[in-house]
Amino acid sequence: MKFYEWLDGSTGRVPTGPPIWICGDCHVGNLGPLADAKGRVAIQIRDLDQTVIGNPAHDLIRLGLSLASAARGSDLSGVTTARILEELMAGYEEALAESFESPRDRSYRPKSIQTLLAQSVRRRWRHLAEERLETVRPTIPLGRRFWPLTIKERNALARMVDSAPVRRLITALKSRSQDDPVELIDAAYWIKGCSSLGRLRYAALIRVGVGTKSNPCLIDVKEGVAAAAPRTRRTKMPRDNAARVVTGAKALSPNLGQRMLATRLLDKAVIVRELMPQDLKIEIDRLTRQEAMTMARYLGSVVGRAHGRQMDTTVRQEWLTILAKNRTSSLEAPSWLWSSVVELIALHEAAYLDHCRRYVLSGAA
């Protein structure tokens, strides 16, 4: 929330880009391999809860902050952090300058990204089941992560699964037929951190097809809530928060957007999404200087394509012209990006230390 508070007060210091769908929370962990309905995998933005029509510069700042924090965690120097932001901008601008007639990704992929993609395409249902359910049996084990449903909740989920829009979503994958029967096998309330408490969040295990040709799938049902990310004023967005998330996903991450649906459950707006074995997130432990710079350039290009596909040639060129301003002869990253990341790192560090102090004063230590 500190990040969004800072953005609200940054007017005038950050350039204003064209109003497009942005991620709103574009950190490294929110990017990764995503499979489309035909099984093709690409690195795209994978979490769109905060998506709004807003300033694309906000995604660059959030990603820059995430990469700078990873650099600090890897004991890389401040000079390297400056170079990371340069590479981030270089990758972003290169992607904007490309032709968007072909969806093909021509960016150089770091070795770690190539490894992650290779791992992604090899994954099957059992990998997803073991990761999410900790079992390959056709059941959702109740316990710390999954809680039992009330009769009302289960009946509502069964009706939702049997509805025509959800059936079309589930049978859209290339390995399935639109005539395949769809059956709810099991369901549970899904505890996904503090953010799920007090809101609808369910895991639904579905059987598609009959007999030996049937296959299971895991559906994530999540309540759509208001975004904290600042939006561009006087722009039209869906008032329904689930519809907002799905619309933003289709614009930013086509692989994910085509596998999502906005609907209603228990009088609440919810997002329905099938979880695919190929869906993974990028995780950074420790990076060398060169790895960090290569990663920054590549992720910048991923976000650049997500933004650029929403602009026509003229708007992309105008945005590139704005981005080229406020640079020095010795640093290719614009001054507004550098100063924004530095301020945010200082803000988060101060908030963390203040939290530690209050923890000690409370006697909890």
- Mark whether 245 and 318 lie in a shared domain: no
Instruction: With beta carbons less than 8 A apart as the criterion, state whether 15 and 361 touch.
Output: no
The pTM assigned to this predicted structure is 0.92
What is the reported pLDDT for 210? 85
Q: How far apart are CA 326 and CA 285, in angstroms?
A: 32
- Determine the structural domain holding residue 79 and report its residue range: 2-120+280-361
310-326: average pLDDT: 92
Q: Specify the pLDDT at position 9.
A: 79
Residue 364 pLDDT grade (very low, low, confident, very high; cuts 50, 70, 90) = low
Output the pLDDT for position 206: 94
Q: Are residues 161 and 265 in the same domain?
A: yes
Alpha helices in 230-362 (DSSP H): 241-252, 254-257, 289-308, 313-323, 335-361
Do the domain assignments include residue 222? yes
Mean of the pLDDT values across residues 207-226? 90
Of 246, 275, 304, the one marking the end of a domain is 275
**Pairing, β 52-54 against β 201-208:** unpaired
160 CB-near residues (< 8 Å, 6+ apart): 166, 221, 263, 265, 272
> How far is 213 from 290, CA to CA, in rounded Å?
48
In this structure, is residue 129 part of a structural domain? no
Contact 21, 53 (CB under 8 A): yes
Q: Which pairs from 7-14 meet CB under 8 Å and 24+ separation?
A: 7/58, 7/61, 7/229, 7/230, 8/230, 10/340, 13/336, 13/339, 13/340, 14/55, 14/57, 14/58, 14/61, 14/336, 14/340
Sign of CA dihedral 241, 243, 244, 245: positive
Other beta carbons less than 10 A from residue 106's beta carbon: 11
Are residues 111 and 142 both part of a single domain?
no
Whether the predicted pLDDT of 365 surpasses 60: no
Following DSSP, what letter does each residue of 140-176 receive, concatenated? ---SSSEEPPPHHHHHHHHHHHHSHHHHHHHTTSTTS
Q: Is the pLDDT of residue 282 over 80?
A: yes
pLDDT score of 272 more than 90: yes
Mean pLDDT, the chain, rounded, equals: 90
Residue 127, in any domain of the structure? no
Conformation bin of residue 24: beta by default, left when phi > 0, alpha when psi is -120 to 50: left
Q: Does the residue 116 lie in any domain? A: yes
Of 275, 291, 308, the position where a domain reaches its end is 275
Query: What is the C-alpha to C-alpha distance for residues 151 and 255, in angstroms, rounded to an integer?
Result: 34
Closest among 119, 60, 112, 69 to 87, alpha carbons compared: 60
Of the candidates 181, 186, 115, which has an alpha carbon nearest to the alpha carbon of residue 157?
A: 186
Mean pLDDT computed over 63-68: 95
pLDDT score recorded for residue 10: 75
Residue 107 has pLDDT above 80, yes or no: no
> Do 206 and 269 lie in a common domain?
yes
How is residue 111 written in tokens? Answer: 């070795």
Q: Examine residue 355 and state whether it is found in any structural domain, yes or no.
A: yes
Confidence of residue 253 (pLDDT cuts 50, 70, 90): very high
Q: Are residues 223 and 142 in the same domain?
A: yes
Instruction: Pick the more confident residue, 28 or 78.
Output: 28
**Domains in the chain, number:** 2
What is the pLDDT at residue 331?
Answer: 65
Residue 239 has pLDDT above 60, yes or no: yes
Residue at a domain's end among 275, 307, 324: 275
pLDDT at 103 (0 to 100):
62
**Look-up of token digits 């309905």:** 37
Q: What residue spans of 43-139 are helical by DSSP H?
A: 56-73, 78-97, 111-122, 125-132
Strands of the 146-147 sheet, one edge to the other = 146-147, 182-190, 201-208, 215-223, 268-275, 260-265
Query: Which pLDDT does position 243 carry in this prediction?
Result: 97
The fraction of the chain above a pLDDT of 90, given in percent, is 67
Range 319-345 average pLDDT: 84
Highest mean pLDDT among 61-70, 167-176, 186-195: 61-70
Q: Is 237 part of a structural domain of the chain?
A: yes
Are 66 and 191 within one domain? no
- Closest among 305, 285, 289 to 116, alpha carbons compared: 285
Query: Do 262 and 143 lie in a common domain?
Result: yes
Same domain membership, residue 141 and residue 266? yes
pLDDT at residue 174 greater than cutoff 80: no
Q: Which two tokens stand for residue 187?
A: 């369901």
Residue with the bigger pLDDT between 207 and 347: it is 207
116-147 pLDDT, tens digit per residue, is 999 999 999 999 999 999 888 889 999 999 99
Q: Give pLDDT tens digits for 320-331.
A: 999 988 776 666
The rounded distance, in Å, linking the Cα atoms of 33 and 299 is 12
Backbone angles phi, psi at 196, to 5 degrees: -85, -20
- Residues 92, 34: one domain? yes
Kindly state whether residue 125 falls inside one of the protein's structural domains: no
Residue 303: the pLDDT is: 97
| Beta pairing partners, 54 | 20
- Mean pLDDT, range 66-71, rounded to an integer: 93
pLDDT number for residue 349: 77
Same structural domain, 21 and 106: yes
The answer as to whether 128 is a domain residue is no
Segment 37-48 shows an average pLDDT of: 92
Whether residues 251 and 353 fall in one domain: no
